[in-house]
Structure 1
C-alpha cells in the first residue's frame, strides 16, 4: 500500500544524572511524561536538533557526542525517533512553554510515569552495555 507522506524524524535525549536517574519532562500539550525531544527541522542536523530540543524543554545544554541508544518507529503516526543517552554540560532543569514539570526518575519509576512506548526509550538508554535498540510501536504499546 503506497504511503502519501514520508516519515518524519524526531530526536530525544535521555539525560542521566550521577545517581543513574533519567530526566523526564511532563509535556504541557498532553500531560505525558517522556524524555525531552522533538522533530528535526528542515536544514538542521540531528545533533543540532537534539541540542536545541533538550535545551528548549529542560534548560540544559548537553555535551556532544551523545550515544545513540535506540531507533523507534511509530507505525501509526509515521515518526522515526532517534534516542540518545546524554550528559548535561550546563544548566539546571526548568519548566517552560512546552514543559509543565520535570523530575529525575529511577529505573523502577520510569514505567509508572511514561507509557510503554516512551518508557522503553528511557530504559534502553539506561542499559549502557547493550547496542542500540530498534523497535516499533503504535504510539502507546510496543508491537
Structure 2
C-alpha cells in the first residue's frame, strides 16, 4: 500500500434529545455546522474514540445507541462511522474545536449544514432499519 492510498477513519455522534432533535456544533476552524466527531487515534477502539470526540467538542458524556451510517469522502479518503447517541452526563461547553451549539430537526439541519454532513444527521434521526452507506465529495452526496 502506498502512502497516497491510505484511508483515515473518523467517528461522529448525533446526540438526540427527548424531543427528537439533534445537537450540532459550529466548528471554530471553518464555521460549519456538523455533528461532533473527529478522527480515531491509531490505538483507539471505535466507541472509546466516539465518546472522547463528543466529550471534547461538547462537554457531554454520551452512550451510543446505534450505528446509523457509513460515509466516505472520496477525494480525501476519510471513512466516517456515525452513531446515534444519548447524553448521559455533562453540560454543553465551548471548546478549542466548537464555538456554538444548536439543537435542530431534520429539516433545520438541511438549511445549516452542507449536504454531505446534513445527511448524516438526517439518517440518524430517521432510524433506518439498516445503516446507509454513502459516498460524497466533501460537500454533496455522490450517486
Scaled by the length of structure 1, the TM-score of the pair is 0.95
Cα separation, 1, equivalents of 2:98 and 2:78 = 21
Structure 2: gaps of 5 or more residues: none
CA shift digits 1:87-136 (9 cap, x unpaired)? 10101221111101111011210101100000000000001143101000
1:3 Cα deviation (Å)?
Answer: 7.0
- Structure 1 residues 129 and 135: alpha-carbon distance in aligned structure 2, compared to 1, 3 A threshold: closer
SS in 1 for 2:11: strand
Range that drifts further, 113-122 or 90-99: 90-99
Name the stretch that deviates more: 123-132 or 29-38.
123-132
Mapped to 1, the partners of 2:48 and 2:101 lie a distance apart of: 22
TM-score (norm 2): 0.95
| Matched length | 141
Task: Give the strand-richer structure, 1 or 2.
Answer: 2
Instruction: Show structure 1 runs of 5+ residues with no match.
Output: none
